[in-house]
Every structure is written in structure tokens, then in C-alpha cells.
Amino acid sequence: MSKISVSNLNFFYGKAQALHDISLDIPEREVIAFVGPSGCGKSTFLRTLNRMNDTIPSARVEGQVLIDGKNIYEANTDVASLRRKVGMVFQKSNPFPKSIFENVAYGVRINGIHKDKADLNVRVEKALHDAALLDEVKDRMNTSAFGLSGGQQQRLCIARALAVQPEVILMDEPASALDPIATQKIEELVVELKKQYTIVIVTHNMQQAARVSDRTAFFMLGKLVEVNPTQKMFTNPDEKLTEDYVTGRFG
């Protein structure tokens, strides 16, 4: 059974339609990459998977998004609980003006999912460990998160997402603002995390999609053109449009 199953999804900003009739299944514990030129709808689609677009007054969704068989757009959906289950990591790292420890502890505290202080400490350390950051920060947990490098801040934001024990992680260009070494660490982390999580990553970087994803979905003008195993997408795509994009003829 698919972890996420999207069928006949249309998305509108006011009268403007941004996504057209998208259907896509995402299996559990897989990395799927969304690629396509700027403005093609891939980030908008990513945000429909945990209702982040709800914050836009003119936004409207038609169709179904099922997670574990439940339609997340049903009227009685607990959106806070949905966003705990489906975590989000943004393009620009956005640590809070707090200590490293408090950044990771934040979601655990507001959701009340720890038993006591010792349990909170365990959860924070595990999240930092899983985000491949613990060894670098264990001696400075009470110092400001703003003292970390850009790549460390992004891994801190990943740790913050992991601390509330999600099942799905959405990543919107998580390495686009980072240098090559920091980018490599994020990519290695993605490959490691898929042992425990379902990961959906938006990227402009074709090589990155090839390195980290099991399958790739190509978007163009708000439509899903093709989805296939990543190796096939990059060597023998079904659609001429996909071939033109991945070989750099446009985009």
C-alpha cells in the first residue's frame, strides 16, 4: 500500500490554476524527487501534502490526498496532527532565536509528547544524532543556533522536524543555499533517513535527484509529465519533454 496516494488533484490560487489533475502514489520509505523548471508547480504540490497552502487565503484544492488511506482534506482533519506526521524542511534554514537544544525541543514541548525532562533530553539527542549533527554540537547545546554554519543550521532544522517523530519528511530544495560540502552531508543524510521515513524532495539539481532518489517525478506548467525510477528517468525516459529537460535542452 502507498504511504501517500494523490488522485486527480487540482490546485488554484484564486482563479489561477497552478496544478492540473495530478495523480501519484508514493510508497513507504522511499525518496521521490520532484524536478522541473521554476514555476512548474513542484513546490506548490509538495505543500499540498501537509496542507501548508492552507495559510494562503485564496488557495483551493480539488481531488484527494490520502496518507495511510485517510483523505487529509476531509473537514474533520486535525491539521496540527497532520503536520506532526508530515514534517517540512524549507529551502532556507530557519532556526528559532533560541539555543540549539531549545530549537530541537520546541516541537516536542508544544505537542506535549515527552514524559519528563530526561525523556525530552533523549528525544533531542536522538533527533540530533539522526540528523548527523550531535557530534558537532554536543558540547554547545545551550549556545545560540545562529552560531552554527549554514549547513549545520539546515541539519538543525531537519533535527527539529525529526524530534516530533514524523512518518513523512517534505524537503523543499534543502541544499540550494549550501556549499558543496554541506550539500553532500544533506544528501548523505537523506539516503540514511529513508530507512525510517518516506521522503519527498524538491530539487533544481538534476545530479542531486540522481544521487538521492529512488524515483523522480517531472513537472511542467503545473502538470505531472512523467514519474519513473530515477535511473530510467535519466537514461531512458518515456516522454520526449522529460528527455529534453534532463539533458539540459531547456529549463
Ordered by where they begin, the domains of the chain are 2-246 (3.40.50.300)
pLDDT per residue as tens digits for the range 177-228: 888 988 999 999 999 999 999 999 999 999 999 999 999 999 999 999 999 9
CA-CA-CA-CA torsion for 194, 197, 200, 201, nearest 10 degrees? -50
Residues of the chain under the 70 pLDDT cut: 251
DSSP class per residue in 26-65: EETT-EEEEE-STTSSHHHHHHHTTTGGGGSTTEEEEEEE
In angstroms, what CA-CA distances link 103 with 46, 213, 250?
Answer: 24, 28, 40
Least Cα distance to 158 among 140, 178, 142, 143 occurs for: 178
The pTM assigned to this predicted structure is 0.94
33 and 203 Cβ atoms separated by less than 8 Å: yes
pLDDT number for residue 177: 84
Q: Which residues contact 251 (CB under 8 A, 6 or more apart)?
A: 36, 37, 245
pLDDT number for residue 251: 59
